[in-house]
Amino acid sequence: MKLSRRSLLATTAAVAAATVPAGQARAAGRGRDRSLRTGFERLADSGYRLLSGQRVGIVTNPTGVTRDVRHIVDVMHADRRVELTAVFGPEHGFRGTAQAGGSEGRYDDPATGLPVYDTYLKSGQPLADVFTASGVDTVVFDIQDAGARFYTYIWTLYDCMEAAALAGKRFVVLDRPNPVTGRQALGPVLHKEFATFVGRQPIAQAHGMTVAELARLFNGEFLTTPAPLETVLMTGWQRSDFYDASGLPWVPPSPNMPTPDTALVYSGTCLFEGTNLSEGRGTTRPFELLGAQGLDGRWAAAVNALGLPGVRFREAYFAPTFSKFQGTTVGGVQLHVHDRAAFDPVRTGVALLVTAKRVWDGFAWRPDDWIDKLTGSTRVRTMIDAGADTDEVVAGWSEELAAFRRVREEYLVYR
């Protein structure tokens, strides 16, 4: 990965004087007597100074809320200090009415009367044309991420930054916590030939960054024409903080991300989307429950025998209400994370794949090799098929992960 555009950070990815200098952001997290302030809270505290005189459109979804759970679109629309003129909805929609792989389309929001434009699966010039047609001067992004490369909102961020550059629009990112901490990056790095909407660019499977940091990385490393980017950072957030340290309400970022516990395991167990096993969609614990017809307690015993740090596995039976095995009782495991700091979700996901294949003759990858899109190459699939164990699979991505970690370090603004 190249490091050729770091100098752009001073201008295109500046943490604006109207927000907070990077040095202050680092200092703000020191000590435990602190109160987290999100990017939106700091923007509102300033009287929306950064948006003064601008026609503003916002890319957001149900997670764009204040700590008293008012949606920021409703708050901004009612405030004369900001001219909010459009909303842009991602996958699942602005108000969150669509399931996975769906969106709300173009409509006028009943609550505010604002036009809502659909960004889902749009990129490049077609998305730039949406921004142009909306008549906005500045595009604002405020969505809660889940910390995994294949969670599509970060690629909505990437696509919108690219489109803003094409359309000549300012782009402002309002930061929120990475719910599973920003301690480190984990897992394989995407190979560019496997780029899709679940991974546009070569970052690690669990990236360990906030959306503002990712925006800086995208601008400095991947966008051919960097976006005119400004970021409003948080104060009071440390890289070691899990979501419950934030004091913020959890709003499901998507229908199958109901709790922060889901986000904790998601970057590993989402890999089961690439298999014929259920990843727990259609249950109350998606991505914590995994299973299929024909699986039983042998799987839990096999994976518990590995002694993976921070997690135990319970033999479990469930009947999904939709998705794979709808209405059918299946057997499998439930993950129980007992030490979040020690838990490695990506390693755990690989261990679950390895053991599932060994104890169940019915194990199969999805025919479209979706697992390769999720892991970012053919390596995980082919190594497991060849009989590799967990340690061997994890060792296979060590060099590319180390390279990504070095690049990532240049764009971190919290300590």
Cα torsion angle, 206, 208, 209, 214, sign: negative
The predicted model scores a pTM of 0.92
Lookup: tokens for 153: 């909102």
pLDDT at 15: 41
The pLDDT score that the predictor gives to residue 34 is 57
Six token digits for residue 34 = 């602190």
At 87, list the tokens.
């909303």
Predicted local distance difference test score (pLDDT) of residue 92: 87
Strand ranges inside 79-206, DSSP E: 83-89, 107-108, 115-118, 138-142, 170-174, 186-189, 204-206
Mean pLDDT by 10 residues, the chain (415 residues): 41 39 37 75 98 98 96 97 96 82 87 95 96 98 98 97 98 98 98 97 98 98 98 98 97 95 98 98 98 97 98 98 98 98 98 98 98 98 98 98 98 96
- pLDDT number for residue 10: 34
Domains belonging to the chain, first-starting first, are 9-254+403-409 (3.40.50.12170), 260-377 (3.90.1150.140)
Nearest to 379 by CA among 366, 363, 398: 398
What does the pLDDT read at residue 42?
98
How far does Cα 67 stand from its chain's mean position? 20
Residue 323: name the closest of 289, 356, 299, 357 by CA.
289
